[in-house]
Amino acid sequence: MYKLIIKIMLGLLLGASTSLASQSFKGRVVDITDNKALPGANVTLHNKKDSSLVAGKLTDKTGNYSFEGIKDGSYYLKVTFVGYTSKYLDLAMNSSKEELALIRLSPGAAMLDNVLVEAEKAPIQYSGGKTVVNIDKNIVSNGGNALDVLRNTPAVEVNAEGEIKLRGSANFRILIDGKKPGGDGSSPSTILKQISATNLENIEIITNPSAKYEAEGGAGIINLVTKRAKRDEGLNGLLTLNSATTDRYTGSANFNYRKDFYNAFFNYDYQKEYNFIAQNLNRDVYANSNTLSQKVAHTSRHTHNMHNFKIGTDLFIDDYNSITFFANGRYVDINQNSDMLYNNYTNNIQSDRVFRNLIIQQPNNAWDYSFNYTKSTDNKGEVLTFDALVSTWSTDQDNDFTQKQYTDLNTPQPPNVINQNNLVIADMRYINVKTDYVLPLNNSSKFEAGMQAEFNQFELDSKLYNSFNLEPKPSDWVFDSSFSTRYKNNMDV
């Protein structure tokens, strides 16, 4: 019992002596040039004998730090802060409580004015009710077109013939920079093939459009956002050239010049594709006791040439008002030459041979003239815009079809011949004027209002000519009115 009491008393005495030998101290770290506090500075306490770490602290927002329960002894402080020269201070702890004076750090020789943090955009982003496909993260953007990019885009299906479906529906709308494109709007794949992927910033898939979009396109909207010139002072430029193993070549040149309140930009894109297709097809049909066979050899050569350029200017009137005007021109030349050879057999005996040739020449050109005025306010997100767009598109197609049927293969008889020539001239003009106003109400809602006027005019003249001579002369062609069409449509909204 006495031994236990003695042990308890010794423990209390040792604890008291230890507490008496434990000290606390505090200090403050500031910039030597202006005495401003340096929050987040690293202050470490080391044993002077072996440099071992005893304790460490980070200064608070006022630059202060403190250490508690440090035993008597010899120590040194190490104070470090990013961009400043490290500082060492000797410190002797004894039975008296010590309070350190200011620790002033000097800026280092490598002190930076600012730090640039760079991050890569994700290939696909989901924001504001839309899916955004960043083109620069898509490998097909080098040498491809907008249709190639869409082949690997969520919610979009593209089959081998280039037909597009958005969420399983072909009822959608194509927009370029939020506006209707000039050209054959009835063929989305044709429009997308004519736009080089290198000229796109991103593609927006809008499956739940707001009220400011028209009711057309029930499945949603595919909005192609083209690249805008940089707004750095002076002259900026980018030149790219690409080639692919499938005889696909693309090139683009983008330049802009910005000074003071204006920015002038120029973009040019060139695209050339050559495709060769070879197919062999064998078909057998068993009808009663007969076997009908057909062997088809098909070769097709496609060439696609496209020139696209944009020139325009931005005028920054002040911090709240800006004007943009640009003109965009596009020329596309599509050519196809297909040969098809049909060998038909009945019970392994050849009955006839049919040769068909199809030559399609489809040059077309489009012009877009766009004007935009934007006014913003100090209320972030409040914006008033006025847009005017004039688009024209025209094509002059020449399609030739020839069929030669040889029915008597044992004697050199001339074939039965059908020649057809289809000339198609089409013109379209589209004018759109609209104004939109957006007013944020809070973080989760906003008010939108706007007005719009559209004026559409489309005219098509298709003429078909027939000739049944092996080598037709100009006078041999006969106009076929039953397969010719003249169509004109005006729609003002």
Burial category of 34 from C-beta neighbours within 10 Å (exposed 0-12, middle 13-18, buried 19 and up): exposed
Other CB atoms within 10 A of residue 332 CB: 20
Mean pLDDT of 3-18: 48
Q: Give the dihedral sign, CA 140/141/146/149.
A: positive
Question: Side chain identity at 287, as an amino acid letter?
Answer: A
What integer pLDDT is reported at residue 234 of this predicted model?
83
How remote is the C-alpha of 163 from its chain's centroid? 21
Cα(448)–Cα(436) distance, integer angstroms: 7
SS3 (DSSP) at 221: strand
pLDDT tens by residue, 133-149: 777 656 555 656 777 77
For residue 307, what are its two tokens?
A: 């020139």
**Neighbour order of strands in the sheet with 87-93:** 53-58, 42-47, 73-80, 87-93
Whether the per-residue pLDDT at 352 is higher than 70: the answer is yes
pLDDT tens by residue, 367-380: 999 999 999 988 88
Mean pLDDT of 322-351: 92
Cα(292)–Cα(350) distance, integer angstroms: 10
Question: Side chain identity at 293, as an amino acid letter?
Answer: S
How remote is the C-alpha of 423 from its chain's centroid? 37
Whether the per-residue pLDDT at 233 is higher than 80: the answer is no
Residues above pLDDT 70, as percent of the chain: 82
Burial category of 11 from C-beta neighbours within 10 Å (exposed 0-12, middle 13-18, buried 19 and up): exposed
What integer pLDDT is reported at residue 356 of this predicted model?
95
The answer to whether 114 touches 213, Cβ cutoff 8 Å, is no
Mean pLDDT of 23-46: 86
Which residue, among 467, 474, 479, 360, has the nearest Cα to 404 in the 3D structure?
467
CA angle, 118 then 120 then 122, to 5°: 150
pTM of structure:
0.60
Q: Is 73 left (phi over 0), alpha (psi -120 to 50) or beta?
A: left
Highest mean pLDDT among 108-117, 122-131, 319-328 belongs to: 319-328
What integer pLDDT is reported at residue 443 of this predicted model?
78
Cα(477)–Cα(493) distance, integer angstroms: 42
pLDDT tens by residue, 405-431: 998 887 778 899 999 999 999 999 999
DSSP 385-421: EEEEEEEEEEEEEEEEEEEEEE--TTTTPPPEEEEEE
φ/ψ (deg, to 5) at 116 = -100, 120
What integer pLDDT is reported at residue 14 of this predicted model?
45
Mean pLDDT of 94-106: 68
Band the pLDDT of 15: cuts 50, 70, 90: very low
Please state which of the ranges 43-47, 146-150, 288-292, 389-393 shows the lowest mean pLDDT. 146-150
Mean pLDDT of 258-278: 87
- Maximal C-alpha separation, the chain: 138
What integer pLDDT is reported at residue 9 of this predicted model?
53
| 156 Cβ contact list (under 8 Å, min separation 6) | 150, 164, 165, 166, 205, 222
What integer pLDDT is reported at residue 325 of this predicted model?
92
Mean pLDDT of 328-357: 92
Other CB atoms within 10 A of residue 183 CB: 25
Mean pLDDT of 26-42: 88
Cα(281)–Cα(275) distance, integer angstroms: 20
| 339 Cβ contact list (under 8 Å, min separation 6) | 298, 299, 300, 355, 356, 357
- Helices (DSSP H) in 162-265: which residue ranges? 188-193
Of residues 105 and 113, which shows the higher confidence score?
105
What integer pLDDT is reported at residue 389 of this predicted model?
92
Band the pLDDT of 187: cuts 50, 70, 90: low
Of residues 1 and 71, which shows the higher confidence score?
71
Whether the per-residue pLDDT at 161 is higher than 60: the answer is yes
For residue 164, what are its two tokens?
A: 């597009």
Whether the per-residue pLDDT at 362 is higher than 60: the answer is yes
